[in-house]
Structure 1
Amino acid sequence: MTEKGKRRPALEGVASADRALTVLSAFRKGDRSLSLAELAERTGLVKSTIMRLAISLEEHGYLAREEDSSYRLDAEVLRLGTIYTQSFRMEAHVVPMLEELVARTGESAAFYIRRGEQRLCLFRVDSPHLLRLHVRVGDALPLDSSAIAQVLRAFAPRPLPPYVASLDLPIVTMGATDPHTGSMAAPVFGPGDKLAGALALSAPVIRWTADAQAAARPILLEAASALTRRIGGEMPEWPRAAAE
């Protein structure tokens, strides 16, 4: 067998690096610092291992030790977070998801954000069908009664209870913007539970049958949840979480 034909051996991670990252990942929203006991409980690591890892993490600026011997995240984490934020490209996450939605449903997929009293089409992938709603990236449409507009009104910038508690996601509307087109939309959340935008499918009403809608609903919800995770958000549990 030639060198080119040889299979590349599988690579394994370094155990110590895995454990160090586990320690950093133990910190959650709202934590100012964590005691050694709390870190042990959250990571499943023994205290002596955590203490050894903490020494290295302190030396590299990822952890700082408080006067009470608890640990907090240090400046290097902020530095990396700032670099990530600056280099983050929404398009790199949204467009592949839209392409997947089109491949799975056969209908047009788009991502909208709210701009005042308008909804702006930020990204879009068209259906392969010739019969479809023709919307271009950059088009600004009114916040009408469409599924997309309802999502943007209800969740931007954050959910508005108790209205959202009664929503059956994804929202589906027929003929709200165009009498011949139906739409289906679900919210996508970013960091801090803030609405990032509305993920939507659109189709001519003649194809948007009850069976087609039933098949597309779980696909869209799954995509909205996956996209939320990819951009650093967390999808609430509906409708219970919306009502709390």
Structure 2
Amino acid sequence: MKKESEPDKKDAAPDRTVLGAERSLAILSAFIDAPEPFGLTELEARTGLFKSVIHRYMMSFIKAGYVVQRADNSYQLGPRAYQLGKAFEARFDYADFIMPTLEKLVRETGESTAFYIRQQEQRLCLYAAETPASVKATVKAGSLFPIDQTSSAQVLRFFSVPGNAARSGGRYVCISVGINNPLSSSMSAPVFGPGNALVGSLTIFGLTLRFDPAASGAMRATLLQMAQELSIRLGASPQVYQAPSADIFDEAAAQAALAAQAVQSTQATVGDG
């Protein structure tokens, strides 16, 4: 008789992954957020593979031009990796990733959704998906708006500053009620991309009569989860969101805290002088 703790091999999906391919990807991926070239010791720490194993793979990468070995025996990505990145960049279409996310949000929340990017001191609605509800809030893709106090503007203003993602205290969802239209409300979360730089704001918006962002904890959690998943698909590191929480992010309070820290730092510098 089969033990109860034994998995049912007939029902288990076969593992068709290739170990060599997974190791290759792990090694090459270790270079993505590396601030400078590094050696086998650092690669071992980043990948969990033994140096002897990594070294064998590195010989193939160097031969194919994906890695370059420097005079000090450290490694960095090579020209072939650059060509691969440029090929991706030339064919990359944000709509292929963002629109399915917006449409999924509409299905799961019943409200309209949009994706905003920053254009200097304005925000551009790059993509939008409408709720099928007969009474709804809408925005057209291509519309330009000021960087004001709406939830999407808060995200674009705060999280576009390098390092601010780590200063949010784990809170990434901004909300707004009746800023430009007294009848509408919204919630937004940042979406990051390559280099963990902000790409834009993922936003849910609807009629205040039925949509209260402050009371919609489950919806905020859904928004944040989809923003994280989209960020990873766009090339961000999962670690860009530090201890993420669906709690509301108070952008005004965060900006005030940063300003106070800057004043303290300036006063300390003057005092030291």
Q: TM-score surpassing 0.5?
A: yes
Alpha-carbon displacement from aligned partner over 1:131-161 (angstroms, at most 9, x marks no partner)? 1112111111222321112222222354669
1:230 is matched with which residue?
233
2:137 is matched with which residue?
133
- Supply the RMSD in Å over aligned alpha carbons: 2.9
Q: Are 1:151 and 2:155 counterparts? A: yes
Instruction: Judge conservation of contact 1:101–1:220 (CA < 8 Å) in 2.
Output: yes
Deviation at 1:102, TM superposition (A): 0.6
TM-score, normalised via structure 1 length: 0.84
Q: Assess, with a 3 A threshold, how the Cα gap between structure 1 residues 129 and 11 changes in structure 2: closer, same or farther.
A: same
TM-score, normalised via structure 2 length: 0.76
Work out the CA distance in 2 between the residues paired with 1:61 and 1:113: 36
Q: What amino acid does structure 1 have at the position aligned with 2:80?
A: E
Deviation at 1:32, TM superposition (A): 2.9
Instruction: Judge conservation of contact 2:102–2:129 (CA < 8 Å) in 1.
Output: yes
Count of residue correspondences = 234
Unaligned runs of 5+ in 2: 1-12, 246-253, 262-273
2:36 is matched with which residue?
32
Deviation at 1:194, TM superposition (A): 2.0
Deviation at 1:221, TM superposition (A): 0.8
Q: Assess, with a 3 A threshold, how the Cα gap between structure 1 residues 46 and 211 changes in structure 2: closer, same or farther.
A: closer
Q: Assess, with a 3 A threshold, how the Cα gap between structure 1 residues 203 and 159 changes in structure 2: closer, same or farther.
A: farther
**Following TM superposition, where does structure 1 have runs of at least 4 consecutive aligned residues deviating by more than 3 angstroms?**
157-162, 164-169, 209-212
Unaligned runs of 5+ in 1: 1-8
SS of the residue 1:172 aligns to: strand
Work out the CA distance in 2 between the residues paired with 1:53 and 1:168: 40
Alpha-carbon displacement from aligned partner over 1:51-77 (angstroms, at most 9, x marks no partner)? 222221111111222223232221111
Q: Equivalences for 1:61-100 in 2 at 5 Å?
A: 61-100=65-104
Q: 2:193 aligns with which of 190, 194, 197?
A: 190
Structure 1 stretch displaced more, 72-81 or 33-42: 33-42
Q: Assess, with a 3 A threshold, how the Cα gap between structure 1 residues 192 and 39 changes in structure 2: closer, same or farther.
A: closer
Q: Are 1:200 and 2:196 counterparts? A: no
Alpha-carbon displacement from aligned partner over 1:83-140 (angstroms, at most 9, x marks no partner)? 1111111111100100111111010010011223322111011011111112111111
Q: What amino acid does structure 2 have at the position aligned with 1:198?
A: S
SS of the residue 1:119 aligns to: strand
Structure 1 stretch displaced more, 48-57 or 79-88: 48-57
SS of the residue 1:170 aligns to: strand
Q: Equivalences for 1:162-177 in 2 at 5 Å?
A: 165=168, 169-177=172-180
Q: Are 1:115 and 2:115 counterparts? A: no
